Amino acid sequence: MTSSYQHHATLVNYMYQSKHTVILTGAGMSTESGIPDFRSRSGWWKDIDPLTVATEEALHKNYDLFHEFYSARLKGLGDIKPHKGHFIIAKWEQDGLVQSVATQNVDGLHHEAGSQNVDQLHGSIHSFRCHDCGMKGVKQQFLEKESCSNCGGHFRPNVVLFGEALPDDAWDSALFHIQKADLVIVIGTSLQVYPVSQLPRMTSGKTAFINKEIGSEQSFFDVTIEGSAGEALSVIEQLLNS
């Protein structure tokens, strides 16, 4: 085995020893499906200040810009599909190697790949509500800027905006699994957004970090694998089956 796979082999051992494994993902898990992340060179926040589009204030003060941003993200998801990494994670859950996935992603690709136990910590871009009265809405009503028939308010996707609370059920479930975990595998996130950034430090289990960029702030992980999510997950899957 080449030395570069040494870290993958270490993680495979952790997976074999673990009775409760949690996978925590971020936007880097979806870039190989064609969805931009946020803070890489080609990420959404390179040209857009998130505070001008991804906050409640933006929704109230500049609904047109808020609507333009989330409509563009929705239209960009048109024919997006899960990649091999999503399917490997779903297979590991079916094989009993992974007990839950906590994701910051709102694209629904883990579900689409077959993962059952997924906590969507930042909500979903595929469901909608009236921001003022909470009435459920549908994509067309949002895309066509319809006013809420109940109160005349604006529709919005059910994604968590900066400054908003995370969905209680998703957070409580993710925290339960993280605190029970023998192993937490973090994939494709800069870990810059609170409170999800704290989750990897809230487990007493082993921790692994798979990411294109590994910084000194991630030196607390027990094992780190620098590279693309799809590639790393494929190598680990091969080692599990060798």
User: Catalytic residues, which ones?
Assistant: 122
Which residues in 114-133 contact Zn ion (CB under 5 A)?
130, 132-133
Is there binding between residue 100 and ligand APR (CB under 6 A)?
Answer: no
Helix ranges restricted to H, 101-152 = 109-112, 139-143
How many residues bind to Zn ion according to rule CB under 5 A?
8
CB closer to ligand APR out of 39 and 180: 39
Distance of CA 226 to the CA centre of its chain: 18
Eight-state DSSP code of residue 54: S
Partner from Zn ion, ligand APR, none binding residue 193, C-beta < 5-8 Å depending on class = ligand APR
CA distances to 5, 7, 8 from 2, in Å: 6, 10, 11
* Residue 146 makes contact with Zn ion by CB under 5 A: no
Q: Is 190 in the site for ligand APR (CB under 6 A)?
A: yes
DSSP β-ladder status, 155-159 and 123-130:
antiparallel
Is 87 near ligand APR (CB under 6 A)? no
- Interhelix angle for 229-240 vs 84-94, to 10°? 40
Q: Is 110 in the site for ligand APR (CB under 6 A)?
A: no
Spatial separation of the C-alpha atoms in residues 225 and 209, rounded to whole Å: 6
User: Which DSSP symbol is given to 167?
Assistant: P
Is 52 a residue that touches ligand APR (CB under 6 A)?
A: no
Q: Is 167 in the site for ligand APR (CB under 6 A)?
A: no
The position carrying tokens 């620098």 is 226
Binding interface with Zn ion (CB under 5 A): 130, 132-133, 135, 148, 150-151, 153
Binding interface with ligand APR (CB under 6 A): 26-28, 31-32, 37-40, 43, 50, 104, 122, 188-190, 192-193, 211-213, 228-229
